[in-house]
């Protein structure tokens, strides 16, 4: 695992560099997309490169990490819509090339299985962008998640719902209680993991991720087993290393 400590702007440039290198080498690169605030500067940087340097996503494929269950098609916090707003529309990414688990499916387990099949069909994820929850979750793999888990339905912890209430009028009751999420095993199949974390509130999770024992109680620690994992953190998030 490589750990880079730098200001947030520099971290975003490093992540964007890794993505641009892949896209220039193979325009049909498969990228794993994360929601949350952590990747936003990376998406800004990619949008800038699309505008100014013609970086193209025309032939790339995107797979989102997770999705809330039950948010309506047009809900602004539906992750499919968040990804559309934050990155896809800004880099003219064809809509049919960006995929997410279907949180509105009648048969949610079948939707999860179909999602796994779609990722496999695309040849797997070349580079997966990740954030980390304050409780050490990646995607929505909450503490206690099997380290070998695949895409499935999960119940969100009270902590995660409180953390995400800021996107729902600060009202925790509006935050869905369930989600579909790629499993830890699914995420570990990606060929390069790039995790971003900034701010002191992430310091404990980053400490566990980098220095803690591998444990389902800190799900991100599974990344210690990955052959190519990059952890990009600012001073505050690195303050307990």
Identified binder of ligand GLP from the candidate list 19, 22, 36, 98, rule CB under 6 A: 36
Is residue 34 at the binding interface for ligand GLP, with CB under 6 A as the rule? yes
Burial class (CB in 10 A: 0-12, 13-18, 19+), 160: buried
Identified binder of ligand GLP from the candidate list 37, 85, 89, 155, rule CB under 6 A: 37
| 235 a catalytic residue | no
153: nearest Cα among 164, 166, 142, 168: 142
Q: Least Å distance between CB 25 and ligand GLP?
A: 26
CB 67 within 8 A of CB 98: no
| 137 a catalytic residue | yes
Q: Looking at residues 84 to 103 of the shown chain, list those that interact with ligand GLP (rule: CB under 6 A).
A: none
| 142 a catalytic residue | yes
- The nearer residue to ligand GLP, 35 or 61, going by C-beta atoms, is 35
Binding segment for ligand GLP (CB under 6 A), chosen from 33-41, 97-105, 111-119, 211-219, is 33-41
179: nearest Cα among 125, 120, 100: 100
CB 220 within 8 A of CB 136: yes
| 58 a catalytic residue | no
Q: Looking at residues 105 to 144 of the shown chain, list those that interact with ligand GLP (rule: CB under 6 A).
A: 131-133, 139-140
Q: H helices within 54-145, ranges in order?
A: 79-83, 108-121
Burial class (CB in 10 A: 0-12, 13-18, 19+), 74: exposed
Question: Could you tell me which residues come within 8 angstroms of residue 25 by beta carbon, excluding any fewer than 6 positions away?
Answer: none
- The nearer residue to ligand GLP, 55 or 128, going by C-beta atoms, is 128
Q: Looking at residues 149 to 188 of the shown chain, list those that interact with ligand GLP (rule: CB under 6 A).
A: 160, 164
Binding residues for ligand GLP, rule: CB under 6 A, are 34-38, 65-66, 131-133, 139-140, 160, 164
As annotated, the active-site residues are 66, 135, 137, 142
């Amino acid at each position: 695992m490589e750990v880079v400590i730098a200001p947030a702007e520099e971290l975003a440039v490093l992540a964007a560099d890794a993505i641009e290198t892949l896209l220039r080498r193979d325009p049909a690169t498969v990228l794993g997309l994360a929601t949350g605030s952590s990747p936003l500067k990376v998406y800004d940087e990619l949008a800038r490169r699309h505008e100014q340097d013609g970086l193209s996503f025309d032939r790339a494929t995107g797979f989102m990490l997770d999705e809330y269950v039950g948010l309506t098609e047009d809900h602004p916090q539906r992750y499919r819509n968040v990804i559309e707003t934050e990155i896809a529309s800004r880099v003219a990414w064809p809509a049919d090339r960006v995929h997410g688990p279907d949180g509105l499916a009648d048969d949610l387990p079948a939707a999860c299985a179909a999602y796994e099949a779609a990722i496999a069909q695309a040849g797997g994820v070349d580079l997966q962008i990740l954030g980390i929850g304050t409780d050490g979750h990646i995607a929505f793999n909450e503490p206690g998640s099997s380290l070998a888990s695949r895409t499935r339905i999960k119940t969100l912890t009270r902590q995660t719902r409180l953390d995400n209430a800021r996107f729902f009028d600060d009202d925790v009751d509006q935050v869905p209680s369930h989600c579909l999420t790629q499993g830890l095993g699914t995420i570990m199949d990606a060929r390069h993991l790039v995790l971003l974390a900034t701010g002191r509130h992430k310091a404990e999770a980053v400490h566990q991720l980098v220095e803690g024992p591998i444990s389902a109680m800190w799900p991100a620690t599974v990344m210690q087993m990955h052959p190519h994992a990059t952890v990009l953190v600012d001073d505050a998030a690195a303050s307990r290393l």
